Amino acid sequence: MSNKLEQLKHMTLVVADTGDLDAIRRYQPTDATTNPSLLLQALELPAYQPLLQQAWQEAKESQISVYDSFAALLACQVQKQVPGYVSVEVDARTSFDTQASLERARQLIAGIQKAGGDPKRILIKLASTWEGIKAAEQLEKEGIRCNLTLLFGFTQARACADAGVTLISPFVGRILDWYRAQNPEADYAGSQDPGVQSVQRIYRYYKERNYKTIIMGASFRNLEEIEALAGCDRLTISPKLLAELEADPEHLERQLSPQQPPQDKETALTEAEFRLALNDDAMATEKLADGIRRFIVDLEKLEAQIEKACR
């Protein structure tokens, strides 16, 4: 019998949640995702050292951010290893500025194209704030595909579908983290996992209303979460959990299937409705803010380390 990773690939498109080229080559995912935290980890890998100097030089010559330069170069390298999309994150410091998000996204696409990458196989990652969603809506009209990240609540998912974004990344494990912190004694195993339940709800809503936006579960804490979402459009998985799936020979049962009775689409959320509903969801509000802060911290560490290595 094939292992669980091979079985999962027959029902879900598997994405590598890493910028490690060796891991990508080993597990042969269709897509790959990156973010400032993963790029920070990549700085320690020998394969990326030549990119540091190149990114630093290009940033000085083009007067662009060293993060944008490094992220674009890295995306081009990852594209050589996967046949599908590579997700690249816009500077999280623009998360509440639609115009700045648009400018940085276009800059990333231009840098990737200049470096020989394929812009059509790039997903621009934006935080699922109102401003990020509005930026994604405009970028999609320009032919730039988007991945809305740091998505924790149903309100965010609904607004992303309204905007017609290519893909969303609901964060399963971080939702579980929040609930565990609130109720340490509760049993969140298997179907009781609130992160799993969140993605299941979004999946049903999208399929019932025939939304084309791809659902990609992310931020997994254990194999149970992945197994409970087998059949989801995409799942982005860390190398550690990919290895655990590969080592498990047991049968993997499909849990999600798109056969749902059709329903009419609801009226698009207004900004006021979005903000009020998100504010009413304490978990989503807190985790969104925390996620943006964490990405900014890692982004600033990344910039500092590149500067230190290249000066």
Tens digit of pLDDT for each residue in 29-68?
999 998 888 788 877 777 777 888 888 888 888 878 989 9
pLDDT digits (tens, 9 = 90+) for 178-188: 999 999 999 99
φ/ψ of residue 124, rounded to 5: -80, 120
Q: 175, exposed or middle or buried, with CB in 10 Å at 0-12, 13-18, 19+? A: buried
DSSP track, the chain: ---HHHHHHTTSEEEEE---HHHHHHH--SEEE--HHHHHHHTTSGGGHHHHHHHHHHHHHHT--HHHHHHHHHHHHHHTT-SS-EEEE--GGGTT-HHHHHHHHHHHHHHHHHTT--GGGEEEEEESSHHHHHHHHHHHHTT--EEEEEE-SHHHHHHHHHHT-SEEEEBHHHHHHHHHHH-TTS---GGG-HHHHHHHHHHHHHHHTT--PEEEEB---SHHHHHHTTTSSEEEE-HHHHHHHHH--S-------------PPPPPPPHHHHHHHHHH-HHHHHHHHHHHHHHHHHHHHHHHHHHHHH-
What is the pLDDT at residue 1?
Answer: 61
pLDDT digits (tens, 9 = 90+) for 86-97: 999 999 999 999
Has 125 been annotated as catalytic? yes
pTM of this structure: 0.94
Amino acid at 1: M
| Options 4, 60, 80, 125, the catalytic residue | 125
Domains of the chain: 4-310 (3.20.20.70)
Q: What is the mean pLDDT of the chain?
A: 93
pLDDT digits (tens, 9 = 90+) for 224-271: 999 999 999 999 999 999 999 999 999 999 999 987 677 878 899 999
